[in-house]
Structure 1
Amino acid sequence: MKTSNKKYLVFLVLLTSFFSCKDLTELNENPNGVESSQVNPNLIMPTVLTEAAKLYTNLGYQDIAGVVQHTQKDAWSSGHNDYDWSNQSWSGYYDILRNNDLLYQRAVETNFEFHQGVALVMRAFMFGLITDLWGDAPYSSALNGELGGTENILPAFDSQEAIYTGILADLEKANGLLAKPKSEYSGIVDNVDVYYAGNPAAWQKFANSLALRYFMRISAKKADVAKAGIEKIVSDAAKYPIITKSTEDATMAFPGTSDGTSWPANSVFDASGSNYRRIKMASTLVESLQAKNDPRLGVWANKVEVPLVVDATLPAGTDKIVNGKRMLSPDKVGNTVIDTDPEYVGLPPSFSALPSAYNLNPTPGQTSFNPHVSFLNDIYKQAKGPLLKARLISAAEVHFILAEAALKGWAAGDAKAHYEAGIQNSLTTWGVGGKYAEYIAQPNVAYKGTLQQIMEQKWIASWTAATEAWFDFRRTGFPALKAGPAAKRSVLPVRFYYMQDELNINKANATAALDKLEVTNYSQADNKNSAWSKPWLIQGTGKPW
């Protein structure tokens, strides 16, 4: 993986294909592309924002949703359900960062301060993902371009600690750059900003909310830094505004005009519908939502099409459909574990090598259609929709971060109030805000002052953005997720593998990074590059296992 800069040729068709920005064409002298030294920052911003949002959504809706047991797949499932991973590439992440670096450099050269602030926020967001997922990674020398006429293909790996420090410094700088009224900035073109339509105040809140995320991320290793950082932000709302309402979430809607601009795994551009059909709600999430009478369940999942009913009064050998239910005599079930819930049935995590066979599915296999397990809601078949958004950070997450901080005794407000606001904002996001009073009044939802309860509600609220739930699980151990019997290891993984090309091409630097990982009892034999080897962030914490 070459993590250095290259001389850019920026293609307009790539930069404007996701959203129509017809007025941008006037910024180009060449209709096909412009050299990096001349490109207008507004031509680069759409690519950075859209590609980052799509990447993050694909993580949180696909394999990471499997890790944190929001979903499971009943076919082509080994990566999603069982953590059968290898050679995970960060190339796409650095591609975005290279475009973002050009955005920043050109914004500096043109004195576009808004664009500088946006680029710093996105730099923090992308490098945050890289170090969260892999650990140590090229950072300070990753985007240095050509050195002495030779392309820098062997960048050093910075420590995870140093990367988090750099991220927080970038966000502090972005906060200052984004602090002015919109009228005082030059070069803003609203419709190239697919998150906030050129609103500096919204981006400033995004920057400071991300800072809260990363201060809490390092709280187990650098508690004094995290405490001081969070208290600084909370104590000065005028200087450090944050996202507090769901209408302020950092989101991107999908236009749905092509496969590449649509909600992932939709059945509009996948005519077979197989990608949608394979993803099922995990029983872990279904049962948690059912136990709480959670109104979000019906927004996220369909009721099971054909419930199972086991009736001891039926004659032996009975297996028939009656009034939309599959009626079974006990002998037809035997010792098979089944779920007879009449409304919602989730797929157990890492259930078996043939998860499509669950719940007596009559047609197991790669092309199976299981009528006895809940499908995702029909909205997830669509290419676009009001609820189909990439969500990079939310008011719900921010409030849960502050609830956790307050629970630690930090000056972050009232833990109960933030916990409740986190839930209320999540319910509002999913269109069931009117159910809040009834929901919060339940004994198993009402605030009890425990970290476990805060983290479980934060885990629920991260639906379709499950990556953050994985990172929270690693540092807290909550929710107390357990690997299923077919999983590659008996515990959940804690990092991605370094890609083989990096290990081969950049061997010395990659080896140095590997040597800093903590090999655990679950790491592969004689292989530090394991999804079960612990990076700096969780070394010595005893978490998550």
Structure 2
Amino acid sequence: MNTFIKKLKYTPILAALLISGCTKNFEKINTDPDALTDVPPQNMLVNVMRNAGDQFGGDIDGYGTFAGYIVKIQYPDNLGGLIPSNNTYGNRWAACYYNITQMMDLLKKTEDKAEGYKNTRIIAKIWNNYMWSYLLDGWGDIPYSEAFQGRPEDGSILKPKYDKQEDIFPAVLKDLKTIADELAAGIGTDEIGDYDIIYGEANSGSADIKEQMLRWQKFCNSLRLRMAMRISSVAPALAKSTIEEIAGNTKKYPVIETNAESCQMFFPGTLPYMEPWYESGIYGKRINNWGMFDIFIDHLIATKDPRIASIAGKNNAGKYVGFVNGSLTNPSPSTSISWIGDHYINNPAGAVPFYRACETYYILAEAALSGYNVGISAKTAYETAVTLSMQDNNVAAEDITTYLADAGKFDDTKSRIYWDMWVALFKENFEAWSLYRRTGIPTTNYPSKIQKFETVHTDQPWRLPYPNNEYLYNAENVKAAASGTVDYNWGKRLWWAKDNGKE
């Protein structure tokens, strides 16, 4: 990654003015001769992937807490960050739209030579839709149909309307299907190499462009599975037809099936490109800022889940002990509770996961139980999912067998699928939070016990606060979209979310 990410230097305008005074050569003098005037498409691609890894991979105690995994220790959480701002969640909103803007620019500048950049363009399109899915799952109603139309040549729409989630989901799924069909018809000839920091040779171990694009094809169809299952309770016909189309023709629509194919971004492991959790926790010496959520540790212990050894560390007494979310007092000593396990936080060259192979089979297991024709039984799909997750956590084969015969045994219920999927999604915290909002599992989840809001909420946040810039520059539209929300994050659930009876 170091090869492609460079800092640009800028010539101060004031200095040029002082030296030259009033001049007809103003533009020439204030043009940095070292700056790129036309960024190559592949460089734009690596930039948005790196941006996504940094913005979405560094979260520990935001979505990690919402999902029921991790609690704040040194700085107890009063939910004070859940207000309109341009930091934290506002940054991630901006990052999504920035990435989409960059990829749209890439597509525009390669439009007249589309065939020569076919593979690059396909990846850009897939990544755009992944960004849209992130925005949908975080905020719900968002600017979509009128977004990116601010320039005069694009329509001069400076205050885009907010489209409904129920209208955007089908549009994104339709676009992903178009991409999937394009991939099924054949890939291009352009080499992307290690500009692709997800499936390039450095991460996949293969320099074969066919293998590289096959993995992107699998991510494209797997993302379709995820989005379809997300809306299965509110748009059952679309969800069923999408999932059955993919599962019924895996030759045309292959999906991620092995851990080696998982969509994740590895880091070089040296400054300034360390895996975000390692950089914050180990290199930044803040590992004791976070403890394991009591409900998570309690569940892992109760089910004798062998993944606990990877997920959490033992305390100073050699035991796994969770901690309260929003405690007014810190554990004494701090080592008396479990911290994040080394497998997930102690590797500078670790990975940010965007989609794991086990997800495919949890989705297929749920689909089978729902009566979808997916070519695999719910039991087989579930056991495959568990096995993949266990292997990803370095669990021995005999321990996997024991778990599947005991507390992890499939019992023909969606509840069993959801509970195990919750464990498997650790570190993929945003997706785990979405699972909780969709299914209500873990049922034991609860928000911080200390809250800054006058309303005492009994549930984790239902959505994310719209950024402050929207209230400053697109006030009428954002206020309409936020109508019905309480304390910015509750009051109005996302379209696909389950009413679990909590407030």
Selected match of 2:241 from 209, 220, 228: 228
Kept in 1: contact 2:73–2:289 (CA 8 A): yes
Q: Which residue of structure 1 lines up, in the alignment, with residue 112 of structure 2?
A: 109
Question: 2:460, 2:323 → 1: CA distance?
Answer: 17
- Match of 1:34, SS state, is coil
- Where does residue 204 of structure 2 map in the other structure? none
Give the superposition deviation at 1:420.
Answer: 0.7
Which amino acid is the alignment partner of residue 328 of structure 2?
A
**Alpha-carbon offset, residue 253 of structure 1:** 0.6
1:57 maps to what in 2? 57
Question: Which residue of the partner structure matches residue 490 of structure 1?
Answer: 458
Alignment check: 8 A CA contact 1:424 1:436 kept = no
In the alignment, the residues of structure 1 paired with residue 364 and residue 80 of structure 2 have an alpha-carbon distance, to the nearest angstrom, of 31
Please say if 1:98 is aligned against 2:101: yes
> Shift in Å at residue 491 of structure 1?
1.4
Q: CA deviation at 1:195?
A: 1.1
Pair 1:421-2:389 in alignment: no
- Which whole-Å CA distance do the structure 1 matches of 2:414 and 2:261 have between them? 26
Pairwise CA distance, 1:302: 1.8
Distance in 1 (alpha carbons) for counterparts of 2:468 and 2:280: 35
Q: Equivalents in 2 of 1:55, 1:174: separation in Å?
A: 26
Which secondary structure state, in structure 2, belongs to the residue aligned with residue 537 of structure 1?
coil
The aligned residue for residue 78 of structure 1 is: 77
Q: SS of the counterpart of 2:324?
A: coil
Residue identity matched to 1:252: M
Mapping 1:150-165, distance limit 5 Å: 152-165=157-170
**Paired residue for 1:502?**
470
Aligned residue for 1:481, secondary structure, equals coil
Structure 1, residues 54-108: CA drift from partner, whole Å, max 9, x if none? Answer: 322224x3311111111111022316xx575111411122111111212222343
C-alpha deviations, 1:8-57, integer Å up to 9, x for none? xxxx9995349xxxxxxxxxxx863123xxx4311211011121233222
Equivalents in 1 of 2:425, 2:104: separation in Å?
A: 29
| Equivalent position to 2:358, from 396, 405, 408 | 396
Cα deviation for residue 215 of structure 1 reads: 0.4
Are residues 429 and 265 of structure 1, via their aligned partners in 2, closer, same or farther at CA, if it must alter by over 3 Å?
A: closer
- Which residue matches 2:368? 406
Give the TM-score normalised by the residue count of structure 2: 0.84
Deviations 1:232-262 (CA, angstroms, capped at 9, x unpaired): 1110111111111111100111112224x21
Question: Does structure 2 conserve the Cα–Cα contact (< 8 Å) formed by 1:484 and 1:490?
Answer: yes
**For the structure 1 residues 52 and 154, does the alpha-carbon distance in structure 2 shift closer, same or farther, using more than 3 Å as the test?**
same
Q: In 1, distance between residues paired with 2:266 and 2:459?
A: 35
Compared with structure 1, are the counterparts of its residues 229 and 53 closer, same or farther at alpha carbon in structure 2 (3 Å cutoff)? same
2:257 maps to: 244
CA contact (8 A) 2:278 2:346 kept: yes
- Which residue is equivalent to 2:307? 296
Question: What CA RMSD, in Å, does the superposition of the two structures yield over aligned residues?
Answer: 2.5
SS at match of 1:252: strand
CA distance in 1, matches of 2:234, 2:99: 29
- Quick check: 1:147 aligned with 2:159? no
1:116–1:174 Cα contact (<8 Å) kept: no
| Superimposed CA distance per residue, residues 317-343 of structure 1 (whole angstroms, 9 cap, x where no aligned partner) | xxxxxxxxxxxxxxxxxxxxxxxxx51
Alpha-carbon shift at residue 271 of structure 1 (Å): 5.5
Instruction: Tell me how far 1:285 sits from its aligned partner.
Output: 1.4
Amino acid in the other structure paired with 2:63? I
Q: Which of 492, 514, 518 in structure 1 is aligned with 2:482?
A: 514
Range with bigger deviation, 70-79 or 195-204: 70-79
Does structure 2 retain, via aligned residues, the 8 Å contact 1:396–1:422? yes
Q: How far, CA to CA, are the matches of 2:183 and 2:47 in structure 1?
A: 21
Equivalent-residue separation in structure 1 for 2:37 and 2:346 (angstroms): 36
Q: Deviations over 1:477-523 (max 9, x none)?
A: 112133256153211211001122212310121122123x4x5xxx3
Match of 2:285 in 1: 273
Shift of 1:435: 4.1
Q: Which has the higher helix share?
A: 2
Report whether the alignment pairs 1:217 with 2:212: no
The secondary structure found in structure 2 opposite 1:303 is: coil
Change (3 A) 1:379 1:235: closer
1:219–1:151 Cα change, 3 Å:
same
> Given that residues 256 and 384 in structure 1 are in contact (C-alpha distance below 8 angstroms), is that contact kept between their aligned partners in structure 2?
yes
Letter in 2 for 1:447: F
The equivalent residue for 2:220 is 207
TM-score, L = length of structure 1: 0.77
User: Following the alignment from structure 2 to structure 1, what is the Cα–Cα distance between the partners of residues 46 and 321?
Assistant: 40
Deviation (angstroms), 1:218: 0.9
For structure 1, the 5+ residue unaligned runs are 1-11, 19-29, 308-341, 363-369
2:159 and 2:40 map into 1 onto residues whose CA distance is 30
The number of equivalent residue pairs is 453
Q: Distance in 2 between matches of 1:503 and 1:399?
A: 41
Distance 1:231 1:272, change over 3 A: closer
Alignment of 1:46 with 2:46, yes or no, is yes
Aligned match of 1:353 in 328, 333, 343? 328
Q: Is the 8 A contact 2:82 2:489 kept in 1?
A: no
With over 3 angstroms needed to count, the CA separation of the structure-2 counterparts of 1:216 and 1:269, relative to structure 1, is closer
Given the alignment of the two structures, is residue 447 of structure 1 paired with residue 410 of structure 2, yes or no?
Answer: yes
Seq. identity, % = 25
Question: 2:184 is paired with a residue of what secondary structure?
Answer: coil
| Alignment-derived partner of residue 142 in structure 2 | 137
Report if the CA contact (8 A) 1:284-1:349 is conserved.
no
In structure 2, the CA distance between the partners of 1:15 and 1:507, relative to structure 1 (3 Å rule), is farther
Q: What amino acid sits opposite 1:131 in the alignment?
A: L
Give the C-alpha shift of residue 139 in structure 1: 1.2
1:172 aligned onto 2:177:
yes
Secondary structure at 1:72 match in 2: strand
Q: Alignment partner of 2:445: what SS? A: coil
CA displacement, residues 442-473 of structure 1 (integer Å, 9 cap, x when unaligned) = 42111001111101111100111111111111
